[in-house]
Chains A and B, each alone.
Chain A
Amino acid sequence: MQKIISEINEIVQDEALGKGSIIPYFEEIQGRFRYLPPEALILVCEHLNIPLSQAYAVATFYHAFSLRPKGKHCMNICMGTACHVRGSPQLLDRLETKLGVKAGSTTRDKLFTLETVNCLGACALGPIVVIDGEYSGQMTPQKSDALLRRIMRSEEKEQRG
């Protein structure tokens, strides 16, 4: 806890983020911690002298920010139009079923966060799934099964150590 607070304080003191708005601070914190801890909102507000209610409104408005920690593996499915006509809804269905969560949620074991994302602009390769920052194109429900299996296998390996 102390560690989180001291790291956040470091970010808050960063001059390069400017004093114009909370958003660059939130981006930095979200990038570092993969979510916005409540302490982050409080400390940034104190530093910038803005009401906490405004920070909370911003944190809940923009999809880039989450107030709950994300899972270890982030799966983003592109819901762009080109991907849509190439079958991304079936892909989403499949992943929701396999992971047991609806898009926008994290699995109970905190391993996976499943999200939809607006067009990534790699339309020739649709449907696209981005997992942990890596793009996988021309995905099908079967390929996504294989992808999940691969990740689970490496997770098990890690656990066995």
Chain B
Amino acid sequence: MANIISPVELDPFEIIQEAFKGPDHPSITICGGTGCRVLGSEKLSEAFREEFDRQNIQATLDFDIKTTGCHGFCEQGPLVVIRPSGIMYAHVAAKDVPEIVERTIIGGKIIDRLLYMDPQSGEKIEHEQDVPFYQFQQRVILDLNGLIDPQKIEEYIAEGGYTALQTVLSTMPPEQVIDEIKASGLRGRGGAGFPTGYKWELCKNQPGDVKYIICNADEGDPGAYMDRSIMEGNPHRVLEGMIIGAYAIGAQTGYVYIRNEYPLAVKHLREAIAQAESNGFLGRNILKSGFDFSVGIKLGSGAFVCGEETALIASIEGRVGEPRPRPPFPAEKGLWGKPTNINNVKSWASVPIIITRGADWFANIGTGTSTGTMIFSLVGNINNTGLVEVPMGISLRDLIYNIGGGIPNGKEFKAAQIGGPSGGCIPAEHLDVHIDYESLSALGAIMGSGGLVVADEDVCMVDFARYFMTFTQEESCGKCVPCRVGTKAMLSTLERICNGEGKPGDVEYLIELGEEIKRASLCGLGQTAPNPVLSTIRYFRQEYEAHIIDETCPSKVCKGLITYSVIPENCTGCMVCLRDCPENAISGEKQKPHQIDVNLCTRCGMCKSVCKFDAIMVT
């Protein structure tokens, strides 16, 4: 496709818009997000093409068959949506393709068994736009994720892509761009929520000709994959935002710092940069404006702490990812000592939208202090696992029940962890909180990057806190005393508690230590690492006390406090668990009830998972 034009001579918009058939052209969009790919969605586009060939219908039924970015409804993948009607099929396998072509594409009929069924109403839903999961969302940044092929710049352009850049370069001086971003109220979507427009202005006002911008795509929160999906599904939007930002700030070079654990996103980004360059959106004299800007990619090397701005800069400079004291902030003295502006993927992706739709439009979404939309990855014990984009201010209840479809297996909601290992949990009593930066902070959580993990009644909150502490302790860079030693001290205490070795005074120690670590640590990692512990103590102190004083784990999770035993009435003596036990802790004869030797048992749970007769009890 059209990559042979010389960008300086021809207007890329004209060429591309001519060549492209238009956004309402019939298409079969197949979700190509990592989750769906694992389930085999890559084979689907090939299968569709083969079927079209076999049926020889491409001439009469001119459908675009394309693999798009993540549709967001990961629980139902692989997803296929037929447009423009919006007929949505879930859990599609390659063997379903001939039937889809025959009955739906050619015959215009719906295949009932492939439809999504809403667990709450029991109804099958035919069209994507009627699915509650999507209905309650406001997909602004993710709008094109299910529509365009991320590997084709012309599709992005056909949907209006790069027109914001054109507007900016031809009609708006840098100061006006910054004013617009300020007026929109956009706050950093990496977690800290610092007003983006002001951040840009700080950098712009620094003296010096050499400046840098960086896109922080080092999304390290476990359970968060929004940034990855944006980079995989619509990398051009991020690039467009970066180019506009670089123009406003006065930077000539930009870098995308992206986790090496995201190979698909890296691939799509590389291709996008090459396409943007050959079409004149990157490089010298962009769109004949005289503005030069180029973008490079820097890969992360497996360190969560490199999501912190100064550690990220150290990593690009080839040093270990250790943060440094601030001030001076990167805006003043950043990459290679030059003024540098760093923003998260979602922040950059918001920029073209603000320019096109206007700051007022953006500011009207959300709450007064937290404008626009937020993207969450809804994961854990939730029916509708996936990526959701909602206006700021939505209630947690709506998010969990209307969009998330509630808790699976009839279990009760216990808590939602927002902000990952830096965040806190929101218990059921606060389900009606309206989610914005300030309201979450008041409850002891943080917005973070958007990871939202749902815990049901069976989750042990002490174990949950221990899990997060294990993560942050492992990821601590080790430079400063409070984080290096303090997180170890907290983790060690939590491990003792989970092992049944808790002592009175442990909870008070965790609180004291946690609060001082937060105040004393050098960087955001240490400053937020105690949050999951402090917040679970705040709302679930009784669980900690049960572990320490009563020596029980109410949720039957903590290995040191539970016992596995056989229920003789249910045991048929099939010997399956006996054979599978890794410690040979089970004894018994055929067709006689078995027994578990508690001294050998390591509580791994293997017997319970293989028993077909519900004969294993955990107390």
A–B direct contact (CB < 8 Å): yes
Q: Which residues of chain A have a CB within 8 Å of any CB of chain B?
A: 20-24, 26-27, 50, 54, 57-58, 61-65, 79-82, 84-85, 87, 90, 93-94, 97-98, 117-126, 128, 135-137, 140-142
Q: Within the assembled complex, what's the spacing in Å between the Cα atoms of A50 and B385? A: 47
Residue among B34, B301, B320 with most chain A CB within 10 A: B301
**Which residue in A20, A87, A122 is a CB contact (below 8 Å) of B38?**
A122
B335's nearest neighbour on chain A, judged by CB, is A20
Assess the A58–B261 pair: CB atoms within 8 A. no
Assess the A79–B604 pair: CB atoms within 8 A. no
Q: Within the assembled complex, what's the spacing in Å between the Cα atoms of A76 and B157? A: 39
Q: Using Cβ atoms and an 8 Å threshold, which residues of chain A touch B39? A: 125, 137
Assess the A23–B609 pair: CB atoms within 8 A. no
Interface check B316, CB cutoff 8 A: yes
Having A87-B605, A117-B261, A120-B34, one finds 14 other A-B pairs with CB under 8 Å, namely A20-B316, A21-B318, A54-B318, A58-B318, A62-B301, A79-B471, A81-B379, A81-B420, A90-B604, A90-B606, A98-B582, A121-B377, A124-B386, A141-B604
For chain B, which range describes its interface: under 10, 10 to 19, 20 to 34, or 35 or more residues? 35 or more
Inter-chain CB contacts under 8 Å: number: 148
Q: Which residues of chain B (552-609) have a CB below 8 Å from chain A?
A: 580, 582, 602, 604-606, 609
Assess the B317–A21 pair: CB atoms within 8 A. yes
- Given A62-B301, A81-B379: A125 and B582 within 8 A (CB)? no
Q: Could you tell me the distance in whole angstroms from the C-beta of B32 to the nearest C-beta in chain A?
A: 13
Interface check B225, CB cutoff 8 A: yes
Q: Within the assembled complex, what's the spacing in Å between the Cα atoms of A79 and B261? A: 13
Residue among A23, A24, A54, A119 with most chain B CB within 10 A: A119
Q: Using Cβ atoms and an 8 Å threshold, which residues of chain A touch B37? A: 135
Assess the B303–A119 pair: CB atoms within 8 A. no
Assess the B317–A119 pair: CB atoms within 8 A. no
Assess the A64–B301 pair: CB atoms within 8 A. yes
**Which residue in B74, B298, B302, B610 is a CB contact (below 8 Å) of A123?**
B74
Q: Using Cβ atoms and an 8 Å threshold, which residues of chain A touch B453? A: 81-82, 85
Assess the A123–B582 pair: CB atoms within 8 A. no
Assess the A64–B222 pair: CB atoms within 8 A. no
Q: Which residues of chain B have a CB within 8 Å of any CB of chain A?
A: 34-35, 37-39, 74-75, 77, 219-225, 228-229, 260-262, 298-304, 315-321, 377, 379-381, 385-386, 417, 420, 451, 453, 455, 459, 467-468, 471, 477, 580, 582, 602, 604-606, 609-610
Q: Within the assembled complex, what's the spacing in Å between the Cα atoms of A107 and B179? A: 59
Q: Using Cβ atoms and an 8 Å threshold, which residues of chain A touch B299? A: 23-24, 27
Q: Within the assembled complex, what's the spacing in Å between the Cα atoms of A93 and B601? A: 13
**Which residue in B38, B304, B315, B610 is a CB contact (below 8 Å) of A23?**
B315
Assess the B304–A118 pair: CB atoms within 8 A. yes
Q: Within the assembled complex, what's the spacing in Å between the Cα atoms of A135 and B264? A: 13
Q: Within the assembled complex, what's the spacing in Å between the Cα atoms of A24 and B609? A: 44
Assess the A123–B320 pair: CB atoms within 8 A. no
B420's nearest neighbour on chain A, judged by CB, is A81
B580's nearest neighbour on chain A, judged by CB, is A142
- Given A84-B467, A90-B604, A141-B606: A118 and B320 within 8 A (CB)? no
Q: Using Cβ atoms and an 8 Å threshold, which residues of chain B touch A142? A: 580, 609-610
Assess the A62–B321 pair: CB atoms within 8 A. yes
Assess the A97–B319 pair: CB atoms within 8 A. no
- Given A27-B260, A58-B320, A119-B221: A82 and B604 within 8 A (CB)? no
Q: Using Cβ atoms and an 8 Å threshold, which residues of chain A touch B302? A: 62-65
Q: Within the assembled complex, what's the spacing in Å between the Cα atoms of A117 and B300? A: 14
Assess the A22–B74 pair: CB atoms within 8 A. no
